[in-house]
Amino acid sequence: MADRDGDGYRVRGHDLAHVRNYSELRVIEALREALPRQAGFCGCTLCVQDVYALTMNRIPAHYIQSGAILLHPEATSRDDIESYLRDAFERVRAHPKHPR
């Protein structure tokens, strides 16, 4: 897969790397707050990335230009995001992608 900083996100010179899924930063913020409360969670990069990916995969994608204001935010509430995060933490805790 092409990296975001390379040519992989360019079309005829137009940079598309800053068209982002609107939910990314909302999930990252919720993840940042939830992580310190996860007793017994591994917390390595692989496990944190796994929690993030599992959570993002449950939220309908909605892409916008970075910095754009979304006039009709997606129906995914903060409560939903926190609930998806809790599920993801449980899954990764039970089934980490690396030896324990």
The least distance separating Zn ion from the CB of residue 3, rounded to whole angstroms, comes to 23
Given the complex with Zn ion, which of 32 and 100 has the nearer CB atom? 100
- Torsion over CA: 57, 6, 70, 25 (sign): positive
The least distance separating Zn ion from the CB of residue 94, rounded to whole angstroms, comes to 12
Given the complex with Zn ion, which of 4 and 91 has the nearer CB atom? 91
Which residues would be at the binding site for Zn ion (CB under 5 A)? 42, 44, 47, 96
Annotate 52-74 with DSSP letters as a single string.
HHHHHTTS---EEETT---SS--
Given the complex with Zn ion, which of 21 and 96 has the nearer CB atom? 96
Q: CA–CA separation, 16 vs 99, rounded Å?
A: 37
How many CB atoms within 10 Å of residue 2? 10
The least distance separating Zn ion from the CB of residue 51, rounded to whole angstroms, comes to 10
